[in-house]
Amino acid sequence: MANTNTKLIIVESPAKARTVERFLGKGYKVEASQGHIRDLPKSQLGVDVADDFAMKYITIRGRGEILAKIRKEAKAASKVYLATDPDREGEAISWHLAEILGIDPKSSCRIEFHEVTSKAVKNAIKGARAVDMDRVDAQQARRALDRLVGYEISPLLWAKVRKGLSAGRVQSVATAMVVRREQEIDAFIPEEFWDVHGLAQLPTQKGKKLTAQISLSALDAKKCELTSEAEAKSAAKRMEKAKLSVTTLKNGEKRKNPAPPFTTSSLQQEASRKLNFTTLRTMQVVQSLYEGVDLKKEGTQGLVTYIRTDSVRVSEESVAAARKLIPERFGADYLPEKPNAYKGRQNAQDAHEAIRPTDVNRTPESVKESLTREQYMLYRLIYNRFISSQMTPALYQTITMELSGDGVTARYYGEHKAFQGFTVIYEEDSDDETGVKDTQLPQLAVGDKVEVSDIESIQHFTQPPARYTEASLVRALEEKGIGRPSTYAPTITTILARGYVAREKKRLFPTELGKTTTALMEQYFSRIVDTDFTAEMESDLDKVADGSMDWKDVLRTFYPPFEKCLRVAEEQMEKIEIKDEESDVVCEQCGAKMVYKRGRFGKFLACPNFPECRNTKPILKYIDAPCPKCGARLLEKTSHKNRRFYGCEKYPECDFVSWEMPVAQKCEKCGSYMVLKRQHGGKASYLCANETCRHRVDAPQEEEE
């Protein structure tokens, strides 16, 4: 007999289900759908182009048991609430569940909460609403577009290039962006230029001296643009002979404002720069923080708000909490008169808040013992960024000074942080750090003579654009309006897994496969890899979501020209053979030079004489340091959770392992081995591995590079 007093809530993840059920207690049952229950079939297109793009949905294989359990609980419940994630994908999952369970989607069956807290969940139940069919239709349109592009182009690539390849509406554009950046680098012609500068000992407060770099800026009142060694040496000689004195001096003040709270994109970028996380790892870790962590004193709690967002807006309640905490922890000077407000990007969806802590009283230190190392690092990043966003600016005293004499003009600029402001807790990193070093400012007056020594001329060359990192590619995708917060990580993961793009020292570069595939896509499907066209499609999906455009119209506009391209490609595309990259490793079974192949778990070595010879080998990466335990060579390895570590090549005979990279240099104090440690901005040092010593020395310049 049905228990008419029990209400059923369906969420997506089991972790969230456990957290929510604990909040609600008796009278509620919480089940997890574990993502989508229904989808288009894998074995066929599933979009009937002839029948006005009718979608054929089936129960996903392996989900029958989950669905049977949900059906049973729904039948026994007095009310069913659909509490899937608060985005288009979650809205679509709720609609599919409503269809399967026979729930009227127009009834008050849909609830959404943006943080997994007791208050948010209970308020969501009070505000139950109908399923938003506009958001559902936007997801259906995206799914149909992705299926049409993927399932219609991929077989062509299998037949003409290599089996197992795929095309995708967003992944093909992302690959093309990496390929085009490489083409820019290849086409770049560096131009030579020279700088001339020297050092001066300038007086500061309390009689101390500042060693300042003075840069040549003009000769005979003309801007200095030196393009050859001869010009640079001539200019350096003039600077050596010139009697320089201060001709202009300007003291000023500069304010640096805090950055807004995190969006999905900015979190992925900053976690890459500060924590060295991939976009995928960032999303995996932050998902666990959102769904709930078992805190030793409070039970399971969601620590951060919803994690797929491009909004920088935060609730008034959270701002008030931050403003209460700031003067208590840092002092009244760190609290601005009015709350800081931030403006989001023009095409940002404002349905969700920015990513912030659900409770500012849960400081990173107070919950550290309940978190994994990676959870703690990411939570601290999110927490500090949010608190800093409501703090006062940092203030800098600046000085700009011109020194002139004998037709030579030189320049000095310096800045000193006079008030820390928000930087006391957080400072944003950048992909291209070019900041000015904080220093004491010189105390000079117009007319003061300045002696410049150690004058040297330095050759430079203009640099090509940098290769993308995962962080800068996410930023570029966001700026161009390609994809949405939920698509960045899977897009980058896919193009790496398919072998279109490779990663080396955080930089992304296209493989031969990526270049060839992009060239074919540009020739036959130019609109699919056109950034403007893809951004326009995203804009159309936004219009569907806000109810101003019919989702079928998006498909009716897209498909006819796409189908024409498809027919041309089928007739004209020629078969291309991409040769595997040869290694210098000899196959011990048949003597051939082995080639690099890419499989599910990354690159490996294989014999080119397959299928006659099926020999394969893992790629071993040795580091330049001996095993501290037995003296054998050390290997760089990857754990099951994709974390890098270092182990002895003689394992299991020798069981030495280390998360940090050992180096050849021994500790000068205790003789133990040392490990490489990296700080922000690339600064590197060697740290003694002996816990009772921990002696630290600066690492050589090449380690920083």
Q: Which of 310-324, 353-367, 428-442 has the lowest mean pLDDT?
A: 428-442
Distance CA 55, CA 38 (A): 11
* Residue 430 reports pLDDT greater than 70: no
Q: Phi and psi at residue 534, in whole multiples of 5°?
A: -65, -40
Q: CB-side exposure of 634: number of CA atoms within 13 Å? A: 25
Distance CA 623, CA 646 (A): 9
Rank 101-115, 333-347, 612-626 by mean pLDDT and report only the highest. Answer: 101-115
Distance CA 452, CA 405 (A): 12
Q: Classify 140-187+467-572 by CATH class.
A: mainly alpha
CB atoms closer than 10 angstroms to residue 352: 22
User: 186-219: buried (b, 16+ CB within 10 Å) or exposed (e) per residue?
Assistant: eeeeeeebbebbbebebebeeeeebebbbebbbb
* Residue 698 reports pLDDT greater than 60: yes
CATH architecture of 264-389: Orthogonal Bundle (1.10)
CA angle in degrees (0–180, nearest 5) for 30-300-305: 85
3-state secondary structure of 436: coil
DSSP assignment string, 597-622: EEETTEEEEE-TTTTT---EEEPPEE
pLDDT at 512: 87
Q: Which of 154-163, 635-644, 669-678 has the lowest mean pLDDT?
A: 635-644
Q: Phi and psi at residue 328, in whole multiples of 5°?
A: -65, -40
* Residue 347 reports pLDDT greater than 70: no
Q: Which among 688, 683, 679, 677 has a CA at the least distance from the CA of 701?
A: 683
Mean pLDDT score, 345-361:
80
Could you tell me which residues come within 8 angstroms of residue 670 by beta carbon, excluding any fewer than 6 positions away? 688, 690, 692, 693, 695
Three state DSSP letters for 225-279: CECCHHHHHHHHHHHHHCCEEEEEEEEEEEEECCCCCECHHHHHHHHHHHHCCCH
pLDDT tens string 476-491: 999 999 988 889 999 9
pLDDT at 704: 47
Distance CA 499, CA 522 (A): 18
Could you tell me which residues come within 8 angstroms of residue 236 by beta carbon, excluding any fewer than 6 positions away? 196, 216, 455, 456, 457
Q: Which among 310, 286, 306, 341 has a CA at the least distance from the CA of 474?
A: 310
Distance CA 496, CA 510 (A): 9
Q: Phi and psi at residue 588, in whole multiples of 5°?
A: -75, -10
* Helices 171-187 & 512-524 angle (0-180, nearest 10): 110
* Residue 291 reports pLDDT greater than 70: yes
pLDDT tens string 64-84: 999 999 999 999 999 999 999
Mean pLDDT score, 551-562:
96
**What residues are paired with 214 via a beta bridge?**
198
* Residue 306: active-site member: yes
pLDDT at 473: 95
Does this model's pTM top 0.85? My answer is no
The answer for 348, left when phi > 0, alpha when psi is -120 to 50, beta otherwise, is: beta
- The domains of the chain are located at 7-131, 140-187+467-572, 192-257+394-461, 264-389, 582-618, 663-705
175: confidence class by pLDDT, cuts 50, 70, 90: very high
Distance CA 7, CA 24 (A): 10
User: 547-567: buried (b, 16+ CB within 10 Å) or exposed (e) per residue?
Assistant: eebebbebbeebbeebeebbe
Distance CA 694, CA 672 (A): 10
Selecting among 28, 306, 334, 376, the annotated active-site residue is 306
3-state secondary structure of 540: helix
Could you tell me which residues come within 8 angstroms of residue 440 by beta carbon, excluding any fewer than 6 positions away? 204, 205, 208, 210, 416
Distance CA 607, CA 591 (A): 9
Mean of the per-residue pLDDT values of the chain: 91
Q: Which among 389, 382, 262 has a CA at the least distance from the CA of 319?
A: 389
* Residue 375 reports pLDDT greater than 60: yes
pLDDT at 619: 83
pLDDT tens string 7-46: 999 999 998 999 999 999 889 999 999 999 999 999 999 9
Fold category of 7-131 in CATH = Rossmann fold (3.40.50)
Strand pairing category for 644-648 and 633-638: antiparallel
* Residue 601 reports pLDDT greater than 80: no
Could you tell me which residues come within 8 angstroms of residue 625 by beta carbon, excluding any fewer than 6 positions away? 634, 661, 662, 663, 664, 673
Three state DSSP letters for 47-82: EEHHHCCEECCEECCCCHHHHHHHHHHHHHCCEEEE
pLDDT at 346: 63
CB atoms closer than 10 angstroms to residue 393: 16
Distance CA 140, CA 203 (A): 69
The answer for 269, left when phi > 0, alpha when psi is -120 to 50, beta otherwise, is: alpha
pLDDT tens string 213-252: 999 999 999 999 999 999 999 999 999 999 999 999 999 9
Q: Classify 192-257+394-461 by CATH class.
A: mainly beta
Structure tokens at 221: 């009142």
Count of residues in the chain: 705
